[in-house]
Amino acid sequence: MKKNITFLLIVLSILSVFVGCQKPPKAERELAEKAFRDAAVGKDCDRENYLAAEELLNRAREEYNNKNYKKARELFIAVKEKSDQIIEYYRTHPDECLPKVEEEEPEEEEFEEILDPAEDPNMEYPMVHFELDDYTIRYEDQRKIELVARWMKNFPERVVRIEGHCDERGSRDYNMSLGENRANAVKNRLIQLGIDSDRIRIVSYGKERPLDPRSNEEAWFKNRRAEFKRVN
């Protein structure tokens, strides 16, 4: 019995020495994983090597999980080497490896192809909207007025009328002035942009001419507006 225990102790100690030798290759794994991530830049231009590295990495992880640390270490080192090669390839072949940037450029050019609507004599005028009880021009509507100003510069014989409107809430009397102030705010902006005041008429319709007859926020927003109309 005693002999048996002694034998077991010896076997265990030998086993533990053996296991101690095969420590998990944590450092190698870390290096390999990082290198592989970095190699993603060459994913498309050095595709073959990238797929190979990916395959190697998957195998390495598998071995690691199965505690075949020796094999895993070798594989991780290989992944690292392969990844470094991809990065090197990427660095030395910019023409092949930067295709995405080239692909985006034509799209942007297409945008510039679209004609400025201000060139169109029949341009549909934009509509300017306002906050409740307010007649200041919102930041997002400045460009709409700039567009109309460009159009008026392109067609200098044209006269426009700006119609100020309100939503259905509040005093009929006061809304007449609110609508007028909205139309005036747009008119003054056009003048700032260089349009002759003689070419701009204004009229307020108060809350008498809603675009949307409903009584909700969406309709109210639609109805609080300044509209451009062609006079001649």
Partner 1 sequence: MSIYSRLMFLIAVLLFCIPLFSQIRVEVTDGAIAEYNVAVSPVFTEADAEKAIANEISQSMEMVLNLTGYFNVLNKKSFLEKPETPVGSIEFKNWLNVGANGLIKGFIKSENESMELDLYFFDVANGKQLLHRKYKVSQATAKKASHRFIHDMVQLLTGEELLFMFAKVAFVERFSDGRYNLVVMDFDGSNREIIYSSKKIILLPEWSADGKRIFFTSYEKNNPNLYAIDVRSKRISLVSGYEGLNTSASAHPDNKTIALRLSKDGNAEIYLLDTSTGKLTRMTKNMAIDTAPSFSPDGKEIAFVSNRSGNPHIYRLFVDNPSRVERLTTQGRYNQDPCYSPDGKYIAFTGRDEFFVYDIFLFEVSSRVISRVTQNQGKNETPSFSPDSRLLVFSSDRTGRTSLFLSNVRGDRQVHVYSGQGEAITPTWSPEVVK
Contact residues for partner 1 (CB under 8 A)?
A: 133, 169-174, 176-178, 180-181, 184, 202-206, 208-209, 213
Outline where DSSP puts E strands in 86-164. 127-129, 160-164
Nearer to partner 1, 117 or 170 (CB): 170
**Distance of closest approach, residue 146 Cβ to partner 1, in angstroms:** 23
**How would you label 193-204 residue by residue, b for 16+ Cβ within 10 Å and e otherwise?**
eebeeebbebeb
Nearer to partner 1, 124 or 173 (CB): 173
Longest dimension (CA), the chain: 118
**Distance of closest approach, residue 165 Cβ to partner 1, in angstroms:** 12
Coil, strand or helix: which one is 217?
A: helix
- Contact status, residue 76 vs residue 32, Cβ threshold 8 Å: yes
Nearer to partner 1, 121 or 213 (CB): 213
**Distance of closest approach, residue 196 Cβ to partner 1, in angstroms:** 17
**Distance of closest approach, residue 211 Cβ to partner 1, in angstroms:** 13
Which residue is associated with the tokens 């090597």? Answer: 49
Nearer to partner 1, 145 or 202 (CB): 202
